A and B are shown apart, each in its own frame.
Chain A
């Protein structure tokens, strides 16, 4: 495990499937990898509404939320999730996105508040490392 990934130990991370997309393997693989890196992973299961996901993130006091979307509906679902997090006064929970995410949408998604975007061609180790680094950097900047 890399130095960055080892900092995930004890972090609480919510992996969520918003919308109707039933492809959950990417979400589960990332969840397993994060758990192997020592994180405490909460997985929502399929077909969760953005307001539900935001509610779980707040109730479970998570350090990060990872959304997995492969249906092409990512822009609308991300915007809605962000809206609900803000409404619950939880806009500071970092939001990550994984799945089939067209390149031309990346700028829009980052502007909406997504910290980082992971796609299926990335090595899983790279996903875990980058997520750990981003969380670490955010923590530094807020400290």
Chain B
């Protein structure tokens, strides 16, 4: 007697089928074979058309390649300026500024909490004079600049506008991005300053000001990358990010802003980890969900406002210090996933980035990885090469459903602001990180060279060791003190007082921040004024 075999077990091959686990890192169980009936052409659509599964532009990368944007910055403005010029000479097409923690947390270099951290994870940028040095010889009307800055994003953006003024670059010519996504800072990255409400106000202020003043600039990049790196799965990364995006849209709508206009300048930022199929599906599903949220939930018809444009970073916690050269291969696979997923800008981590600031050698290799994929691999030739693939369309559908389910959970809890203020989201991510770590420790998640195929005589050397110039921090402090002595202190006082009045009232604080920057007020001084009016975020410490 024979029983009919289930479809997916119709023809078992050699080995019985357990060489590769059926479950993705996000926990989605996939069939061995996806089939034509899993693909619904109506859900896919065309590139550049609703629901944008296949990409935001009809011609993909034919018209314009993604922006090659390597995150970089360390020590003083002089040293970072030299690295930027090097990267631009090597064919990088946009700048991405890494800022040190004092600048990110709104502390001047002489603050007791700041001294040990000056220039360590990025460049110190305490006032406009430092930014003028940072972009010396860089044409701000031609190069787009991205700033990974959140707690002090509005201030750094105001400084960029003031810097353009100084260099006689018209404000409307400025292109680039500030991350300016505070919600995920409370959850994962930790550079919050003010409580949630005034932070949301300052973000709305900066978006509205930027839409008017620098219309080609992206005043926010809603980022999932950091919650992902902290432990969230690909599905959760996208769900939390879209939920945060909804929160920003709602804030702007409360301010009476026109969604046709502001939604067109919202952008996103994600990590790409190693499961190429799941990562590509994540981006395709994300584009589709965002377009439907903008159209159906917020009733915005303009296709430009429905576009889900995003940048990515490849590497992060997927990189290992065990057999570090394997990271070059990992970053290559992740970059391919980003391209197949239709990213607008890509940052490839250097193989040594998991444990030090990249050397010039490793930074160049990371840049070349993108250039090889862009110009030699053929991946950029045809839009959405995975489109119509049974496996990819099936996985995109499953991923979309899983993302929507997590978004529903957040809604059921009471929305992102509540989930963050209560520490619910933070605790959830910490728990997920613990699970992820345990899976790697037990070998359930394979990490080559670390928990599988490890050699007893493995050295884990990574070549050149990057050494930060120990004098850089001292120079930063000296320049800071010299500036405070030489500037017009009455003009500084006036500008700061005006800023505080604006913060107390309802006015947009951005014009006042730009005035403060022009007067060479420091980041720490501006933050101190705002803290007096707005207070500080009280971290919910909950495990």
Contact = CB atoms under 8 A, between A and B. Distances in A.
A77 B120 CA distance: 13
B114 A20 contact: yes
Given A49-B112, A73-B117, A104-B465, A22 B185 contact: yes
B104 interface: yes
B355 A100 contact: yes
A132 interface: no
A87 interface: no
Contact of A45 (B107, B231, B541): B541
Given A20-B102, A102-B356, A121-B320, A45 B112 contact: no
B433 A25 contact: yes
Interface string B429-443: 111011001100100
Contacts of A44: 541
Contacts of A24: 190
A29 interface: yes
B393 to A, nearest CB: 34
Nearest to A51: B112
A133 interface: no
Contacts of A43: 541, 543
Contacts of A19: 101, 113, 116-117
Contacts of A100: 354-355
A24 B354 CA distance: 16
A32 B430 contact: yes
Interface string A11-48: 00000000111111100110111010000010111110
Nearest to A18: B116
Contact of A77 (B116, B189, B321, B465): B116
Size category, A interface: 35 or more
A25 B231 contact: yes
A102 B355 CA distance: 7
B265 to A, nearest CB: 27
Contact of B104 (A20, A29, A104, A119): A20
B430 A20 contact: no
Given A20-B113, A28-B430, A29-B434, A35 B190 contact: no
Interface string B404-444: 00000000000000000000000001110110011001000
A100 B121 CA distance: 12
Nearest to A73: B116
B105 interface: yes
Interface in A47-94: 47, 49, 71-73, 76-77, 80
A136 interface: no
Contacts of B357: 72
B186 to A, nearest CB: 10
A59 B348 CA distance: 46
A22 B190 contact: yes
A73 B357 CA distance: 13
Interface string B107-149: 1000011111100110000000000000000000000000000
A124 interface: yes
B349 to A, nearest CB: 14
A116 interface: no
Interface in B432-463: 433-434, 437-438, 441, 450
B190 A46 contact: yes
Contact of B321 (A25, A72, A121): A121
Nearest to A26: B433
A10 B190 CA distance: 30
A73 B438 CA distance: 28
A41 B543 CA distance: 10
Contacts of A125: 441
A21 B101 CA distance: 7
B113 A124 contact: no
Contacts of B356: 102
B243 interface: no
A111 interface: no
B293 to A, nearest CB: 29
B114 to A, nearest CB: 7
A123 interface: yes
B191 interface: yes
B120 A33 contact: no
Contacts of B116: 19, 73, 76-77, 80
Given A22-B185, A71-B121, A46 B101 contact: no
A28 B543 CA distance: 7
A25 B230 contact: yes
Given A25-B430, A71-B101, A121-B321, A45 B539 contact: yes
B472 to A, nearest CB: 12
B34 interface: no
Given A28-B543, A31-B543, A35-B543, A47 B433 contact: no
A97 to B, nearest CB: 14
Contacts of B114: 20
A37 to B, nearest CB: 13
B154 interface: no
Contacts of A76: 115-116
A5 B105 CA distance: 37
Contacts of B320: 121
Contacts of B322: 121
B113 A49 contact: yes
B188 interface: yes
Most chain A CB neighbours (cut-off 10 Å) among B104, B354, B430: B430
B431 A71 contact: no
9 contacts: A19-B117, A20-B113, A21-B190, A22-B185, A28-B430, A28-B543, A29-B437, A76-B115, A125-B441
Given A20-B102, A21-B121, A29-B434, 18 more contacts: A19-B101, A22-B188, A22-B191, A24-B190, A25-B430, A28-B433, A28-B543, A31-B543, A32-B434, A41-B543, A46-B190, A49-B112, A72-B468, A73-B120, A76-B116, A102-B355, A104-B465, A119-B321
Shortest beta-carbon contacts, A-B, top 7: A22-B190, A20-B101, A76-B116, A123-B441, A28-B430, A45-B541, A73-B116
Interface of B: 101-102, 104-105, 107, 112-117, 120-121, 185, 188-191, 230-231, 320-322, 354-357, 429-431, 433-434, 437-438, 441, 450, 465, 468, 539, 541, 543
